[in-house]
Structures are given as structure tokens and as C-alpha cells.
């Protein structure tokens, strides 16, 4: 599979104009341009979408004015309609150059570039030739075309530079595209491609800080470009999941490398991260648009995964992913309508799959925590409390009957032995629990004294002999992705003595890191929007969500309460659907022994359900 053919397919497969707007600045930077202005939504830009400057081979500085269009351009597109190529170019050559181009740039040679991801049709070529002649009559002005045939070699030469990315890396990208029918294989090959992008060819080479930064940014651009290709190719092949899971890995890998290089606060890098996050959010929304009809239908989901363990794996995975989308949208301003819709989807998914309120694996406490946190982020206290209460009720029933207890090894074979084959005793794989402490923390943050008392006085005695475990990360968590470390190497776990008497005491005990763990302010992402990468890390590497992260989602203590702890506060419009209810330190040796049974390393390819 030729890489230029892959890139041509990618350009042709772009569905939105803003995807092309996001690609072009990345390409220009890789070509050595200084980007002066970027596309602005809703602003009158006098025909010009992007402005850049570049010094040519003769040492002369030139200014480039980009008029960005979308798709194939015919005669109708050239003179009118939404594209209106001719009017846009003329406005750029007249109004923009005369009135909007910065004064220091007016004396430079001005190259107007018509950009499209399609082609200029033959019926429009005469019009383009006449327009080029008119533009050339203006002092120091010219017009040129960058269509798909011109963009493809530029992307290969500058974003997939041979010196930057050897054939092995390109081969991994091609393999990821070819394996899209097998999600796990495709994800695994993309991870190898991303690692090839960030691999340093000569670690001993001494480069200046400027050269190191430029090299790092080019590697980020190459990895992001490969991921964008995977997304578009996945849309055409009908499998969006590899692109979505790979996006989680890419974001964490870019941040990990930035922290190592000391560039995590670099403005250029942060712009690149913002672009990648925006594309990831859009990919998640496209993914759920596609899978929603089957996912929100209990019978369809159960037909796909008829066995309870596999069915629960599917639902908890998608619940965690949908909650992640909602948590990310909560960080973006002016997204209320989209948030409301995703909020409704999350509630509907919880209600549709009532059999998946109690995790099959202890590690699914991660996904349940994210669901409850997302609801709390929407100030949907009542539904969060109902779901929490229902989960604790089901846990008590499971403990009373010694059935369906969460498997603490998080291993499929153990879950099958316990729930299907019957070859394991009920509590063989319920010796440690992160679920119970997580439920206690969430109950305390909700101010739900009733549920907290239920966990302490009713569930606690039934869980005698079970080690309650809490985990806090070290700062090395930020560089875990792409390293050889295991998730156990970047955090501290401790056994808990029990659950505290009041919500206030439980919150205080929950959020205090253990000795050896890092305080929240020690992380590079502290106090920035990038702290949300912790959510992606929890899902990808399967570690608990640190309790100090959850504190900002706590219910205001001044909120009046109804009987049973429910808030009298009115719910947002999106909450029209409500959820329906249907040891000590001596145990640490057992904790360590049980954890050794988990997979050897965090994997990016654990997802099993093709989209």
C-alpha cells in the first residue's frame, strides 16, 4: 500500500471543512513557515483563511495568503454558491492586501494560494487561468493552486519525512489501516507507528534547544497526521473504534513526550494538543452516532455479547467512554446543547442496561466512577445518587448470596471460572476491592450519609476479610505512556482500615495522598485543562481515578437535601430521564500477590467490540 495512495484517500475522505483548516497550519509549520493567523469561525476574513511567511531559497521573505475551499471545484463553485472561489480570491487580492495585511508584510512578495482537498475540474480551469492572470497584474502578487495532487507529496515530504519516520513506521501505519477489520490488531499497529514517530534516531546527538523543540513538534505532527488518516480510513471501512482508542493513546503519548522534553507549557505544542483534543472529541461523537442504535438497545447488545461477563465488558467499556466524552465537553465553553444530548445518552444507556450496575471486574469501578463523576459535573446530583444507591444495594445482595462478586484480578479467565464454568469458589477472586472505597468516596462527595452508612454498617461486615484498597499516583504517571513501566510502578496502593463515620471525615481521609505518592500540585497538568488527561489515563492504563481529582465535582455542602439525601435542586434540561433503582495493612501481601495475576502491562488494545 503506497503511502501517497493512503494520503490521497485521507484527503478525499475528509468530511468537514474545519478538518482541512486544522491540517494546513500543521503542514505549513513542518514546511518551515511562520503561521501569522489561523482560520476563525464566524469572523469576516476578507477571503483569506490563513496567513504565513516563509524565506525562500534566495533568502527573500514572502507572505502566503491561503484561500481554503473544500472538495472538487467546478464552474458553479468557481463563480458562486458556498465556495465562491473567484469572489474570495479577488477579495483577498484587493481588500485583504490593501486593508488587513500587516504593514511590515505589504512590501513583500504576496503569493495567494487556493487550497482544496479535491481537484480543480476541467470546466473551471479557464476561469482559474483568467483569475491567475488578473492577480498577476497586481504588484508583487501571484496565484497558485494546492489541490489534493499537490498536497499529497507535501504531506509525505514534510509530515512523513524519511529522516523522521523510517519505512518501519510507515509500514506500521499501513498495517494499521489494512487491519481495520480486527480492532485489536489495528490499534496495536498504530501504537507501534506512534512509537516509531517519537523514537529518537540518534540519542547521543547533541542538539540545541531550538532544534530539539523543532524535532519534537515535527514528530507530534507526524503522529497526529497518521492518526487522522486512521480516523478517515476507519470511517470508510465502517470501523471507528481503532481510531477512537488510538486517539486516547496518542494524546497521552504526546503529553508524556512533552513532559520528558520540558515542553509541556510550550505555546506551539499546546495549540497542537488543542487541535488533537478537538479532533478526538469529534471522533467520539461520530463513534457514538454510529453505535447508538445498537448500544441503546438491550436485546441488540445482548445478542452481540450473549454471555453475562462479555456483555458487562461491552457495556462498562462504552459507559466509561461516553462518560469521558461528557467530561471533556464540560471543559469546552458554549457546548450546552451537545452536553445535554450526551447527558441524555448516558442516562439512557444506564437505564437500558440495568443488569450492568454492578461491575463484573473490580477494575470496572473505574468506568462506574467516571459515569458518576460526569453526572456530578452536570450537577445531576439526584441521578448520581440513585445510581450509587442502586449499585451499593446490588453489591450487598451479591455479598449476602455469595454470587456475582467483582473479580479482583480483572482477568477474563477468572471471571469465566467464577461465573460460567463454576470451577472457582464464590470468593476466590474477591480478596481485594477498590470498588467499595470508590463508592464510599463518591457517597461522601455527594453528601449521601445514608449510602455511606449502608456501605459501612451493612456491606462492611459482609466483606470481612476483604482488603479495601486505594491507589494514588506518583508524578511518573504523566510519562507512563510509551515507557517500559507498569502502572503499578507509578503509584502507591494501601489497604484501608474501613469507612469513616461521616461524609466529611470520609472526604478528608479519601483525598489525602499516601506517603510516597505525589500531591496534585506536583503534576505538570495541575491547574490546567490538561488534567483531563487523567481520565484518559485511567481508562487506557486501567488505574483507579485518584480521589483528589474527584473533589472538584463534589456536591456543594449548602445544597438543601430531601429525605434520603436527594437534593431539592432542580435538574438541568438534559436530565429529563432519571436512573431507575432496581481490612487492614496485614492484607497488603495478599494485595501484591493478587495484582501479579493482572495483565503484565497496560494495553491500548483491550477493547473488543468492533464499531
Q: Is there a contact between 521 and 549 (Cβ–Cβ < 8 Å)?
A: no
Banded model confidence at residue 574, pLDDT cuts 50, 70, 90: very low
Q: Which residue has the higher pLDDT, 575 or 4?
A: 4
Q: Tell me, what's the pLDDT at 63?
A: 95
Phi-psi group of 429: left, alpha or beta (phi > 0 → left; psi -120 to 50 → alpha; rest → beta): alpha
Domain membership flag for residue 289: no
> Residue 146, SS3?
strand
Domain membership flag for residue 275: no
Q: Tell me, what's the pLDDT at 171?
A: 84
Q: Tell me, what's the pLDDT at 562?
A: 34
Q: Is there a contact between 222 and 26 (Cβ–Cβ < 8 Å)?
A: no
Q: Tell me, what's the pLDDT at 600?
A: 35
Q: Tell me, what's the pLDDT at 166?
A: 53
Mean pLDDT, residues 70-87 taken together: 86
Cell 468506568 sits at which residue?
A: 367
Residue 611 confidence (pLDDT) above 80: no
Q: Compute the mean pLDDT over every residue in the chain, rounded to the nearest whole number.
A: 86
Among 163-172, 389-398, 512-521, 571-580, the minimum mean pLDDT is found in 571-580
pLDDT tens digits for 20-46?
777 888 889 888 899 888 776 656 678
Q: Tell me, what's the pLDDT at 46?
A: 81
Cell 492577480 sits at which residue?
A: 135
Please indicate, yes or no, whether the overall pTM of this predicted structure exceeds 0.85. Answer: no
Q: Is there a contact between 437 and 560 (Cβ–Cβ < 8 Å)?
A: no
Banded model confidence at residue 202, pLDDT cuts 50, 70, 90: low
Q: Tell me, what's the pLDDT at 590?
A: 41
**What percent of the chain clears pLDDT 90, i.e. is strictly above it?**
63
Banded model confidence at residue 316, pLDDT cuts 50, 70, 90: very high
CATH of the domain at 65: 3.40.91.30
Domain boundary among 99, 134, 154: 154
Q: Which residue has the higher pLDDT, 537 or 575?
A: 537
Q: Cβ–Cβ contacts within 10 Å for residue 88, how many?
A: 21
Q: Which three cell numbers stand for residue 591?
A: 494485595
Q: Cβ–Cβ contacts within 10 Å for residue 245, how many?
A: 25
Domain membership flag for residue 321: yes
Total structural domains in the chain? Answer: 2
Banded model confidence at residue 221, pLDDT cuts 50, 70, 90: confident
Domain boundary among 154, 174, 198: 154
Q: Tell me, what's the pLDDT at 588?
A: 35
Q: If DSSP states are collapsed to H, E and C, what string results for 18-53?
A: HHHHHHHHHHHHHCCCEEEECCCCCCCCCCCCEEEE
Among 154-163, 197-206, 274-283, 556-565, the minimum mean pLDDT is found in 556-565
Domain membership flag for residue 502: yes
Domain membership flag for residue 393: yes
> Residue 287, SS3?
helix
Q: Is there a contact between 480 and 540 (Cβ–Cβ < 8 Å)?
A: no
Domain membership flag for residue 453: yes
Domain membership flag for residue 388: yes
Domain boundary among 122, 154, 186: 154
Mean pLDDT, residues 267-291 taken together: 93
Mean pLDDT, residues 81-88 taken together: 86
Q: Which three cell numbers stand for residue 96?
A: 485583504
Handedness of CA 11, 17, 22, 26 (dihedral sign): positive
Among 39-48, 360-369, 555-564, the minimum mean pLDDT is found in 555-564
Mean pLDDT, residues 226-246 taken together: 92
Q: Tell me, what's the pLDDT at 312?
A: 94
Q: What are phi and psi of 74, to 5 degrees?
A: -105, -170
Q: Tell me, what's the pLDDT at 528?
A: 95
For residue 1, give its domain range: 1-154
pLDDT tens digits for 375-388?
999 999 999 999 99
Q: What are phi and psi of 523, to 5 degrees?
A: -85, 145
HSE-CB at 554 with a 13 A cutoff on CA atoms is: 23
Q: Which three cell numbers stand for residue 31?
A: 514546511
Among 121-125, 402-406, 576-580, the minimum mean pLDDT is found in 576-580
Residue 164 confidence (pLDDT) above 50: no
Domain membership flag for residue 307: yes
Q: Round the CA-based radius of gyration of the chain to a whole number and report it.
A: 27
Amino acid at each position: 500500500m503506497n503511502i501517497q495512495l493512503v494520503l490521497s484517500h485521507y484527503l478525499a475522505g475528509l468530511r468537514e471543512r474545519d478538518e482541512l483548516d486544522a491540517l494546513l497550519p500543521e503542514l505549513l509549520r513542518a514546511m518551515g513557515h511562520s503561521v501569522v493567523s489561523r482560520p476563525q469561525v464566524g469572523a469576516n476574513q476578507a477571503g483569506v483563511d490563513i496567513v504565513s511567511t516563509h524565506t525562500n531559497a534566495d533568502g527573500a521573505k514572502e507572505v502566503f495568503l491561503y484561500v481554503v475551499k473544500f472538495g472538487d471545484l467546478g464552474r458553479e463553485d468557481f463563480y458562486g454558491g458556498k465556495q465562491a472561489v473567484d469572489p474570495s480570491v479577488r477579495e483577498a487580492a484587493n481588500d485583504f492586501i490593501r486593508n488587513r495585511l500587516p504593514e511590515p508584510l505589504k512590501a513583500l512578495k504576496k503569493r495567494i494560494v487556493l487550497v482544496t482537498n479535491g481537484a480543480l475540474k476541467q470546466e473551471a480551469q479557464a476561469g482559474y487561468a483568467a483569475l491567475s492572470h488578473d492577480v498577476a497584474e497586481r504588484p508583487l502578487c501571484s496565484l497558485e493552486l494546492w489541490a489534493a495532487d499537490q498536497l499529497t507529496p507535501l504531506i509525505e515530504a514534510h509530515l512523513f519525512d524519511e529522516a523522521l519516520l523510517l519505512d518501519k513506521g510507515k509500514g506500521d501505519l499501513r498495517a494499521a489501516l489494512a487491519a481495520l477489520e480486527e480492532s485489536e490488531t489495528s490499534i496495536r499497529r498504530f501504537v507501534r507507528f506512534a512509537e516509531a514517530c517519537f523514537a529518537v534516531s540518534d540519542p547521543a546527538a547533541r542538539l540545541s534547544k531550538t532544534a530539539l523543540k523543532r524535532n519534537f513538534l515535527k514528530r507530534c505532527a507526524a503522529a497526529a497526521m497518521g492518526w487522522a488518516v486512521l480516523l478517515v480510513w476507519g470511517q470508510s471501512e465502517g470501523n471507528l473504534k481503532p481510531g477512537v482508542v488510538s486517539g486516547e493513546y496518542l494524546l497521552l503519548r504526546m503529553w508524556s513526550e512533552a513532559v520528558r522534553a520540558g515542553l509541556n507549557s510550550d505555546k506551539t505544542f499546546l495549540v497542537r494538543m488543542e487541535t488533537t483534543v478537538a479532533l478526538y472529541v469529534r471522533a467520539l461523537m461520530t463513534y457514538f452516532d454510529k453505535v447508538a442504535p445498537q448500544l441503546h438497545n438491550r436485546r441488540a447488545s445482548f445478542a452481540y455479547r450473549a454471555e453475562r461477563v462479555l456483555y458487562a465488558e461491552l457495556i462498562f467499556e462504552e459507559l466509561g467512554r461516553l462518560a469521558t466524552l461528557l467530561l471533556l465537553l464540560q471543559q469546552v465553553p458554549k457546548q450546552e446543547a451537545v452536553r445535554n444530548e450526551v447527558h441524555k445518552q448516558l442516562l439512557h444507556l444506564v437505564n437500558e442496561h440495568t443488569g450492568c450496575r454492578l461491575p463484573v471486574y473490580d477494575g470496572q469501578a473505574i468506568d462506574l466512577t467516571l459515569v458518576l463523576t460526569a453526572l456530578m459535573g452536570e450537577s445531576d446530583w439526584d441521578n448520581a445518587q440513585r445510581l450509587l444507591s442502586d449499585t451499593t444495594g446490588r453489591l450487598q445482595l451479591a455479598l449476602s448470596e455469595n454470587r456475582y462478586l467483582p473479580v479482583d484480578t480483572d482477568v477474563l479467565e477468572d471471571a469465566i471460572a467464577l461465573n460460567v464454568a463454576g470451577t472457582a469458589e464464590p470468593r476466590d477472586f474477591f480478596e481485594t476491592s477498590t470498588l467499595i472505597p470508590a463508592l464510599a468516596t463518591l457517597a461522601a462527595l455527594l453528601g449521601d450519609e445514608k449510602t455511606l452508612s449502608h456501605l459501612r454498617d451493612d456491606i462492611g461486615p459482609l466483606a470481612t476479610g476483604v482488603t479495601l484498597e486505594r491507589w494514588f499516583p506518583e508524578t511518573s504517571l504523566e510519562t507512563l505512556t510509551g515507557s517500559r513501566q507498569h502502572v503499578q510502578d507509578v503509584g502507591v496502593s494501601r489497604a484501608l482500615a474501613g469507612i469513616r463515620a461521616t461524609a466529611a471525615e470520609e472526604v478528608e481521609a479519601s483525598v489525602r495522598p499516601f506517603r510516597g505518592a505525589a500531591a496534585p500540585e506536583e503534576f505538570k497538568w495541575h491547574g490546567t485543562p490538561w488534567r483531563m488527561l487523567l481520565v484518559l489515563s485511567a481508562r487506557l492504563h486501567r488505574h483507579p481515578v485518584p480521589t483528589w481529582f474527584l473533589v472538584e465535582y463534589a456536591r456543594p455542602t449548602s445544597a438543601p437535601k430531601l429525605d434520603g439525601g436527594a437534593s431539592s435542586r432542580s435538574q438541568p434540561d438534559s436530565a429529563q430521564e432519571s436512573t431507575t433503582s432496581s481490612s487492614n495493612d496485614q492484607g497488603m501481601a495478599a494485595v501484591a500477590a493478587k495484582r501479579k495475576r493482572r495483565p503484565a502491562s497496560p494495553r491500548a488494545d483491550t477493547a473488543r467490540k468492533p464499531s
